[in-house]
Amino acid sequence: MFVRIANLLALVLMFSSGFLSLFDVSARGETLGEYWDTAEEESKYYRIVEIPMPAGMAIEAGCFEVMTDKQLAIGTRRGDIFLVKGAFDKNPRPTYKRFAHGLDEIMGMAYRDNAFVITQQTEVTRITDENADGRADHFRTLSDTWGFRNYHEFAFGSKPDADGNVWVALCLSKSYHSDVPFRGWCLKVTPDGKTLPVCSGIRSPCGIGPNEHGVMFYAESQGPWNGSCSLKVLEQGGFMGHPVSFNWYDLAKGMGDKPVVPETRSRLMIERRRVKELVPYAVVFPYIRMGRSISGFMVDRTGGKFGPFENQLFVTDFSLSVVMRATTEKVNGVWQGACYPFREGLATGLLACQFTPRGDLIVGGTNRGWPVRGPREFAIQRLDWTGIVPFEIKTINARSDGFRLSFTKPVDPVVASDPATYSLSTFTHVYQQGYGSPEVDQTTPRVVQATVSEDRLRVDIKVEGLVQGHVHEFDLEPMREPGGGKLVHDNAYYTLNEIPSD
């Protein structure tokens, strides 16, 4: 399908920049940051339940799949697929059975029509057990239409979309280059094994799947051309921001010409106007404050079994061992949204999450290779809602003159209608070739009015000084419930790519 790539420089460079590209060599020693210090309070609402593993087994989860109401499947970095019974039980004492082994960093998995479709570093594979002995025996390569010459060229695959396509986000070579075809691209693999290009410009993905509106997104990591981790929409024909992957447009049918190369040391807002394919980040996760390498995510479709956040995205983080929430909306044709702290103190670096049929959230991963707060080499844990509704900012939506904030429980009307309850600040990043970015162009908008809805679950705030393209950081420390209760988390971050017209 494409020309032979002779890469004689297949030397493995021990660049440490990340699975997920946590940081580059120069940044080593940067801290894992301060905790939110909310774990104790969070534990009242979401309990961490251990999913024990058999002694002596190393299970480095890279992805999960619910097979039946009783059975969980785990794909691992070490290339195993485990079938697990009992992981959904209230008091889990699961049994593990190895279904397949010998695969290469399984970072995406779905079970459809008696077959697993997995994404591993080398390829998308359809795996079946044709003699029905409970162990995989057929491994059919659906697509390996991408170059793979460096260990850091990770591949993350979605569960199939409505048409059965697996979307694969391909990490750059050594996380800085695009040495072989389609590094830095998203490809779509159809059920019959056709491979179609979607977009270029990816840097270091670590999670891919639909947002709450069913549109395919991926988790991008901080690094060159990325001021911070973010969720981005995988737009057909789009450019995700890192131009090193432009050299594969010749191989990509239907993608048109290379986009204009963006200027370095600019701003995303400015370059969006120059580079028409450039897709701005939809939800920025401010560095360290909201994760350091966001990873797998999944939409809560539990119908309320997981608490008040139905239809929101739950996003894990590898470095900080935390789970966060995000919501997205399309404004003026552009995706944007907010992220919110949710739960910290998980045991290892999180790579993936999965809602269970009972409506709990399984998370897991490993802490190998990069600095991670969670102390354990690998772990699988579950977040169970205790049934008590936390007092939280539920969603933030943009309005033409400010924002609408929804809460999980009624607010104290006096406090909530006081504009002083809401502190807003904004910033953006330098859009640049260099690694990451400081937060720049800070402003402090003023909340001039806060109108509380009748049911006291919503507050519309009128803001003077909204800045298009900036992340708007909310601090609602003074907010109270009528009984005086405080928010579990008083911060949230909205990425305002577009300001809605009325």
- Phi first, then psi: give them for residue 478, nearest 5 degrees: -75, -10
- Long-range contacts made by residues 393-396, C-beta under 8 angstroms, separation at least 24? 393/340, 393/474, 393/476, 393/487, 393/489, 393/490, 393/492, 394/308, 394/309, 394/457, 395/312, 395/327, 395/338, 396/327, 396/338, 396/474, 396/492, 396/494
Q: How many residues of this chain interact with another protein, rule: CB under 8 A?
A: 73
328 vs 366, which CB is nearer to another protein? 366
Question: Per CB under 8 A, does 136 bind another protein?
Answer: yes
| Residue 3 binds another protein (CB under 8 A) | yes
Answer for which of 38, 51, 75, 79 binds another protein (CB under 8 A) is: 79
Q: Pick the piece of the chain touching another protein (CB under 8 A) from 86-94, 273-281, 288-296, 453-461.
A: 86-94
Q: Which residues ranging from 201 to 260 are in contact with another protein (CB under 8 A)?
A: none
Per CB under 8 A, the list member of 86, 144, 417, 460 interacting with another protein is 144
Contact pick of 65, 77, 188, 322 for another protein (by CB under 8 A)? 77
Among 135, 258, 404, 462, binds another protein (CB under 8 A): 135
SS3 173: strand
Q: Residue 239 — φ and ψ, nearest 5°?
A: -130, 120
Among 149, 358, 399, 480, binds another protein (CB under 8 A): 149
* Amino acid at position 346, single letter: L
Identify the residue among 114, 131, 444, 501 touching another protein (CB under 8 A). Answer: 131
Asked if 161 is part of the footprint of another protein (rule: CB under 8 A), the reply reads no
Element (H, E) at 41: helix 39-42
Q: Quick one: which of 150, 302, 328, 437 contacts another protein (CB under 8 A)? A: 150
Could you say which residues in the range 172-191 bind another protein, by CB under 8 A? none
Find the part of the chain contacting another protein (CB under 8 A) among 133-141, 158-166, 259-267, 303-311: 133-141
Q: Residue 400, Cα to own-chain centre: how many angstroms?
A: 28
Query: What DSSP line would sit under 137-154, residue for residue?
Result: -EEEEEE--S---STT--
Query: CA distances (Å), 129 to each of 62, 106, 159, 162, 165, in order?
Result: 21, 18, 20, 24, 22
Which segment (10-18, 157-165, 392-400, 406-414) binds another protein by CB under 8 A? 10-18
Chain positions 29 to 68 lying near another protein, rule: CB under 8 A, are 29, 31-32, 37, 39-40, 43, 50, 53, 55-58
Q: Within its chain, how far is the Cα of 255 from the centroid? A: 25
Identify residues 272-291 at the interface with another protein (CB under 8 A).
none
Nearer to another protein, 125 or 327 (CB): 125
Question: Which residue lies nearer to another protein by CB, 139 or 249?
Answer: 139
* Shortest spacing between CB 139 and another protein, in angstroms: 5
| Segment 91 to 120, residues that bind another protein, using CB under 8 A | 91, 93, 98, 101-105, 120
**Which residue lies nearer to another protein by CB, 29 or 303?**
29
Distance CA 243, CA 202 (A): 8
Cα distance between the two ends of the chain: 49
496's enclosing H/E stretch is strand 491-496
CB of 308 to another protein, least distance (A): 23
Give residues 346-385 in contact with another protein (rule: CB under 8 A): 367-373, 375-378
Q: How far is the CB of 483 from another protein (least distance, A)?
A: 18
> Is there binding between residue 10 and another protein (CB under 8 A)?
yes
Which residue number, 146 or 431, has a Cβ lying nearer to another protein?
Answer: 146
CA distance 43 to 39: 6
Based on CB atoms, which residue is closest to another protein, 341 or 345? 345
Q: In sequence order, which residues have a C-beta less than 8 Å from that of residue 180 and are 6 or more positions away?
A: 5, 7, 146, 147, 148, 149, 153, 173
Distance CA 309, CA 377 (A): 30
